[in-house]
A and B are shown apart, each in its own frame.
Chain A
């Protein structure tokens, strides 16, 4: 079996799920004949027709709201946001309508809202955001953010089959950079389970999405240059968060850093830090540290973007500090 990219893995998941379940349909901007801004849905309209791959007006509230209405009636919509940055235009729909529907009105919303997220691609302020923290605070939503091609496929299939609304963040830096041979058969990765991306004993890095690869690179360097054994935890799902996996790695290494690409203040790393503090305080030999972007909108120019986003060298420096603490 040949390797396929993260992007192709998502397309494969969409294709297989649309073939498996006639209730699955896609809607979004330019996803039809054009195949989407990043070509994730390329070929789907030709294969499934324009009633199952629907081009929509530029209207995120309508896309998300209509997906919710169809989901109430037992369909399984997959809504694409052209860039995940535009999810803010549907924020009201997601947080007020979709997230509350089951709780307040017993209306299920089995839907996926997916789109390209993240930086390291010189996309500038409006094509590089990581808005996941804005939704971590909303009970009723689920948030998935895969780092590998195999996870991208397996988690997308799980998201489509999930009975709740799943926000599926796809990292555009990884779209064509990472590849996997897909596991045979119906490859489904359960939502809510983290993955040990690398075993280690001295320092833990808890992260997700593109920074998983930065952490792995840093871990290799730390092992080579310092003899520090780093464990890397890929969260894969941010909501619900895998508290057991977090606790397990804290107990194992007693030194933890959290790495994410999103800005620092109010970011997910703060929430993870608080959970470790509440439940794992006795196992800590050092303060929990955060490696994140600086608190600025993500700038465009390469020297600026490189400085603002967390880099391998940042992770290495913090890991050395933790190991010596």
Chain B
């Protein structure tokens, strides 16, 4: 199928012109239109979970129970949830920091995420990594690194393995507007394009890379335009419309699965919080975040849609919200009760096989030497 690649009315969106979902011209959404009511409620549940879980993390952060920084995806829940929903279980995606929703869709649990943020020993990475930097190939997501752009070549390699082995699987990789400026983004997408691997690249244009607005990040009119230079398909969608996001992503996934190669999707959205909780957004013009909150909130928009077109009742929504809250409450209790990691565990797992010498022998040795003023046990390991 062809993409509904109608350029969005960005000027209107960014000029804070209030408009309702009704004012947006209807476009054909062949894939979204096939979703069942139950699937649409699942989309809502994932968006609600994303927002509520992050709100719980904010509370824990203020109680200093979150060890590192906290990165919100407020206002971007639809783009992560809608796009990941377009994948099959066997497909593999790599999220970025504002894609917690995509991980929830792929089966990550609130308990795992809470334990990660709280650096617990039973977190998915046993306390080695932070926030949503974890993965599980069985469930189809890869733990990303902080170096922006790097996941594009890696995911191109995973997609290459699917192609080489003839596996019917697709890769989806999220990237921010800022990360499109990196060399790794270019190298990875170009390689993937040449090899025609089954890959979908979702560029989330949320207006800011940390404090840098998009206009200072690129001189291109849109990120979708970059697809032309790579010889791949470009598409664009309203990232705050979860059904539009689902539709455009699903079309790209189906194209990749059919051997059509790489698609670059630009999702237009907006980051309503700072880069992380510590960022006061002093660089944001007055009224901008407020406009998006009041007029273009992805959760509010979808609730209005569900009420109007699916006849979803307040009771149904309240029941979902209550179930989400209960799950977060239970997960919070478990995460808070989880142990911190054992320090020695941090020395293991660097290689497939442990090194021949325990890497900490000299630490113990020096401590003993200082305390006893004699040659410590473990010293001179090579003493024949």
Cβ of A108: which chain B residues have Cβ within 8 Å of it?
352
Contact with B along A228-261 (1 / 0, CB 8 A): 0000000000001001100110010000000000
Residue of B nearest to A64 (CB): B153
Contact B154 A248 (CB under 8 A): no
The CA of A210 and the CA of B129, in the complex, are separated in Å by: 40
Contact B157 A66 (CB under 8 A): yes
Pick the contact of B190: A59, A106, A164 (CB < 8 A).
A59
Contact A69 B156 (CB under 8 A): yes
Cβ of A107: which chain B residues have Cβ within 8 Å of it?
135, 137, 142-143
Q: Is the CB of A65 closer than 8 A to any CB of chain B?
A: yes
With A70-B161, A73-B161, A105-B135 known as contacts, the answer to whether A93 contacts B382 (CB < 8 A) is no
Q: Is the CB of B70 closer than 8 A to any CB of chain A?
A: no
Contact A103 B128 (CB under 8 A): yes
Contact B159 A69 (CB under 8 A): yes
Contact A68 B380 (CB under 8 A): no
With A57-B187, A73-B161, A164-B352 known as contacts, the answer to whether A66 contacts B382 (CB < 8 A) is no
Contact A67 B157 (CB under 8 A): yes
Closest Cβ of chain A to B379, distance in Å, is 7
Closest Cβ of chain A to B334, distance in Å, is 22
Contact B184 A140 (CB under 8 A): no
Interface pick from B51-59, B106-114, B355-363: B355-363
Contact with B along A93-131 (1 / 0, CB 8 A): 100110010111111100000000000000000000000
Q: Is the CB of B188 closer than 8 A to any CB of chain A?
A: yes
Q: Is the CB of B93 closer than 8 A to any CB of chain A?
A: no
Name A52-76 residues within 8 Å CB distance of B. 52, 54, 56-57, 59-75
Pick the contact of A56: B161, B191, B381 (CB < 8 A).
B191
Cβ of B161: which chain A residues have Cβ within 8 Å of it?
69-70, 72-75
Cβ of A93: which chain B residues have Cβ within 8 Å of it?
150, 153, 184
Contact A163 B350 (CB under 8 A): no
Closest Cβ of chain A to B119, distance in Å, is 13
Contact A248 B382 (CB under 8 A): yes
Q: Is the CB of B172 closer than 8 A to any CB of chain A?
A: no
List the 4 shortest-distance A-B pairs measured between CB atoms, nearest first: A69-B157, A65-B153, A66-B157, A247-B382
With A59-B191, A61-B183, A96-B147 known as contacts, the answer to whether A70 contacts B157 (CB < 8 A) is yes
Q: Is the CB of A139 closer than 8 A to any CB of chain B?
A: yes
Closest Cβ of chain A to B127, distance in Å, is 10
Contact A62 B188 (CB under 8 A): yes
Residue of A nearest to B136 (CB): A106
The CA of A316 and the CA of B133, in the complex, are separated in Å by: 53
Majority secondary structure, A binding face? helix
The CA of A265 and the CA of B155, in the complex, are separated in Å by: 37
Q: Is the CB of A301 closer than 8 A to any CB of chain B?
A: no
The CA of A5 and the CA of B29, in the complex, are separated in Å by: 62
Cβ of B379: which chain A residues have Cβ within 8 Å of it?
279
With A244-B382, A280-B382 known as contacts, the answer to whether A70 contacts B158 (CB < 8 A) is yes
Contact B351 A164 (CB under 8 A): yes
Residue of A nearest to B193 (CB): A57
Cβ of B224: which chain A residues have Cβ within 8 Å of it?
none
Contact A140 B143 (CB under 8 A): no
Cβ of A6: which chain B residues have Cβ within 8 Å of it?
none
Cβ of B188: which chain A residues have Cβ within 8 Å of it?
61-62, 65-66
Closest Cβ of chain B to A110, distance in Å, is 8
The CA of A278 and the CA of B380, in the complex, are separated in Å by: 8
Residue of A nearest to B195 (CB): A54
The CA of A93 and the CA of B182, in the complex, are separated in Å by: 13
Name A267-320 residues within 8 Å CB distance of B. 278-280, 282
Cβ of B160: which chain A residues have Cβ within 8 Å of it?
66, 69-70
Contact B154 A68 (CB under 8 A): yes
Q: Is the CB of A25 closer than 8 A to any CB of chain B?
A: yes
Q: Is the CB of B67 closer than 8 A to any CB of chain A?
A: no
Interface size on A, residues (CB 8 A): 53
Pick the contact of A251: B350, B355, B357, B384 (CB < 8 A).
B384
Cβ of A19: which chain B residues have Cβ within 8 Å of it?
none
The CA of A77 and the CA of B154, in the complex, are separated in Å by: 13
The CA of A67 and the CA of B154, in the complex, are separated in Å by: 7
With A96-B145, A100-B145, A279-B379 known as contacts, the answer to whether A105 contacts B156 (CB < 8 A) is no
Q: Is the CB of B349 closer than 8 A to any CB of chain A?
A: yes
The CA of A104 and the CA of B132, in the complex, are separated in Å by: 12
Q: Is the CB of B180 closer than 8 A to any CB of chain A?
A: no
Pick the contact of A105: B129, B159, B351, B356 (CB < 8 A).
B129
With A73-B158, A107-B142 known as contacts, the answer to whether A51 contacts B351 (CB < 8 A) is no
The CA of A106 and the CA of B124, in the complex, are separated in Å by: 10
Cβ of A56: which chain B residues have Cβ within 8 Å of it?
191, 194
Contact A243 B150 (CB under 8 A): no
Cβ of A248: which chain B residues have Cβ within 8 Å of it?
382, 384
Contact B381 A51 (CB under 8 A): no
Would you give 25 A-B contacts (Cβ < 8 Å), ordered by A? A51-B164, A54-B195, A61-B188, A62-B184, A62-B187, A65-B156, A65-B187, A66-B157, A68-B154, A70-B157, A70-B158, A72-B161, A73-B158, A97-B154, A104-B128, A104-B129, A104-B145, A107-B143, A139-B350, A163-B353, A243-B382, A247-B382, A251-B384, A278-B362, A279-B379
Name B135-152 residues within 8 Å CB distance of A. 135, 137, 142-143, 145, 147, 150, 152
The CA of A51 and the CA of B142, in the complex, are separated in Å by: 25
Residue of A nearest to B348 (CB): A103
Residue of B nearest to A280 (CB): B382
The CA of A282 and the CA of B125, in the complex, are separated in Å by: 42
Contact A66 B133 (CB under 8 A): no
Query: Given A59-B187, A73-B158, A279-B382, 20 other A-B contacts at CB below 8 A?
Result: A61-B150, A66-B157, A66-B191, A68-B157, A69-B154, A70-B160, A70-B161, A71-B157, A92-B147, A93-B150, A96-B150, A97-B154, A102-B350, A107-B143, A108-B352, A140-B351, A163-B351, A279-B381, A280-B382, A282-B380
Contact with A along B166-201 (1 / 0, CB 8 A): 000000000000000001100110110011000000
Q: Is the CB of B223 closer than 8 A to any CB of chain A?
A: no
The CA of A45 and the CA of B128, in the complex, are separated in Å by: 41
Pick the contact of B357: A63, A64, A66, A243 (CB < 8 A).
A243
